Amino acid sequence: VGPDRHHQETPLVKIGLIGGTGIEGKGLALRLAAAGHSVFIGSRSQSKASARAEQFNSMLERPTIQAMTNMELLRETRIAFLTVPADQAVEVISSLRSGLAPGQILVDVTVPVKFQEGSPRHGGVDMLSNAERLSASLPPGVDLLCAFKTVPAHLLARLDRRLDCDVFICGDASEAKEQLMAIVRTIPSLRPVDAGPLLMSRSLEHMTVLAIWLNRRYRSKEARYRIVGI
Ligand SMILES: NC(=O)c1ccc[n+]([C@@H]2O[C@H](COP(=O)([O-])OP(=O)(O)OC[C@H]3O[C@@H](n4cnc5c(N)ncnc54)[C@H](OP(=O)(O)O)[C@@H]3O)[C@@H](O)[C@H]2O)c1
């Protein structure tokens, strides 16, 4: 069963990317916009967001992606992905706290990775996942999900390449999770997989560390996951 069996055309939604000016933001922006969603690139700087949106739109050959500051983006969208460096995630969300309202969905893609003697390790604090640390910084009523943590950003950004892998989604808010699974289903060659409660973010972040290790061992840049048997 190939992932495209899970592909669906609808629904189309407004999606924001906090710190969407990096490679992860680029990959998500291009895939989501190509699937027809309204994508908003966020940045600390309006001019940086505008320059990136212009670049992405010229790659898509249509002016579909919009640019704004991270705070403005939270007013425009109900679903926002957090695509900033993992070690900045808590600080960034704390600084945007006043823009987060009940009913909003925050999708964490961050993975703290550090290198020790050349080997990748999980760089989290007190064995916690970055997502668990973030959940403590969110105002009540904001639903936190994790997704795309194990998908290589540079492949996401290559619209000419099929991904043929799973996107693991975890979180404690079941309705929000269903909405995100529906969004992922609109992207060809990806299959959303319900990976359970937010606690599973620990496992997902460690899977990313393993993928980095496998890339080094097998001289690849493309290791990613596709689960068989489900
Ligand atoms: N690379 C992968 O394959 C991959 C896969 C899965 C998940 N991820 C995760 O994706 C996330 C983003 O990765 P990336 O390589 O795109 O990151 P990045 O390029 O280092 O940073 C992305 C953006 O974050 C913003 N930013 C940086 N420092 C900030 C700060 N102190 N405060 C507020 N905003 C700040 C910047 O946007 P502005 O300057 O425009 O504000 C920057 O362009 C990481 O957490 C990573 O773990 C990566």
Q: Which atom of ligand 1 is nearest to the CA of 52?
A: 40
Of residues 59, 74, 98, the one with CA closest to residue 19: 74
What integer pLDDT is reported at residue 140 of this predicted model? 95
pTM for this prediction? 0.96
| For ligand 1, atom 6: residue with the closest CA | 149
CB 156 within 8 A of CB 188: no
CA atoms within 13 A on the CB side of 157: 14
Please indicate whether residue 207, judged by its CB atom, sits closer than 6 Å to ligand 1: no
Q: Which atom of ligand 1 is nearest to the CA of 44?
A: 41
| Bridge partners, 113 (sequence order) | 122
What integer pLDDT is reported at residue 3 of this predicted model? 52
Q: What DSSP state is assigned to residue 142? A: P
What integer pLDDT is reported at residue 125 of this predicted model? 85
Per-residue pLDDT of the chain (230 residues; tens, 9 = 90+): 345 655 665 578 999 999 999 999 999 999 999 999 999 999 999 999 999 999 999 999 999 999 999 999 999 999 999 999 999 999 999 999 999 999 999 999 999 999 999 899 999 988 899 999 999 999 999 999 999 999 999 999 999 999 999 999 999 999 999 999 999 999 999 999 999 999 999 999 999 999 999 999 999 999 999 999 99
Q: Which residue has the tokens 């069963």?
A: 1
CB 211 within 8 A of CB 224: yes
Q: Which atom of ligand 1 is nearest to the CA of 149?
A: 6
What integer pLDDT is reported at residue 10 of this predicted model? 55
Alpha carbon of 83 to those of 4, 23, 73, 110, 174: distances in Å? 26, 9, 13, 7, 22
Q: Rounded CA gap, 149 and 157, in Å?
A: 15
Please indicate whether residue 44, judged by its CB atom, sits closer than 6 Å to ligand 1: yes
| For ligand 1, atom 7: residue with the closest CA | 149
User: How far does the centroid of ligand 1 lie from the alpha carbon of residue 101, in Å?
Assistant: 23
